[in-house]
Amino acid sequence: MISYTLRSAEPRDVPAIVGLVKELAEFENLSHLLELTADKLRLHLFGPKPVVEALVGEIGGEVVGYALFFTNFSTFLGKPGLYLEDLYVRSAHRRSGLGQGILTRLAQIAVERDYGRFEWTVLDWNEDAIRFYERMGAHVLPEWRICRLAGPDLQRYKK
């Protein structure tokens, strides 16, 4: 197993995270939807009202992976939960243990904070990720579907 460092993101990591988000968008064939900038990410990670947190993974002093996550809430459990928005490790560093380390740390954070759940989504065609998550003990919930309003569909509701 390769040695890596896992830590909370700092403002100096923002450009590296944005670069990794771009790589993730390319991997998922979603680059055409990418609007993230360093300024936007910096504001939402470290601004006056942060709405997201991040972990970064380093190998050889270089940020090669990240996780962006935030708090959600389960009315059924009456508890907050941890929602993982993105988990990405550069292809050259997959199977290094970093992805597993990130997921393990996020699960630990959820337990430390007394959250009721740790959830995320996975694309149905990403079979490698699905198998990886299942090996970690995750249950893929096939009966649930994501509903989304974005872009012009969301802007229709502007007052």
pLDDT value at 1 more than 70 = no
d(CA 108, CA 106): 5
* Per-residue pLDDT at 145: 87
Single pTM value for the model: 0.93
pLDDT value at 2 more than 90 = no
**Under CATH, what is the fold of the domain 5-155?**
Aminopeptidase (3.40.630)
CB contact at 8 A, 95 and 103: no
Q: Lowest mean pLDDT of 39-53, 105-119, 134-148, name the range.
A: 134-148
In 3-state terms, what secondary structure has residue 37?
A: coil
**Options 88, 115, 133, 157, the catalytic residue:** 133
Express each pLDDT in 107-122 by its tens digit.
999 999 999 999 999 9
* Per-residue pLDDT at 103: 96
Note if 88 is an active site residue.
Answer: no
Hey, which residues does 83 pair with through a beta bridge? Answer: 70, 119
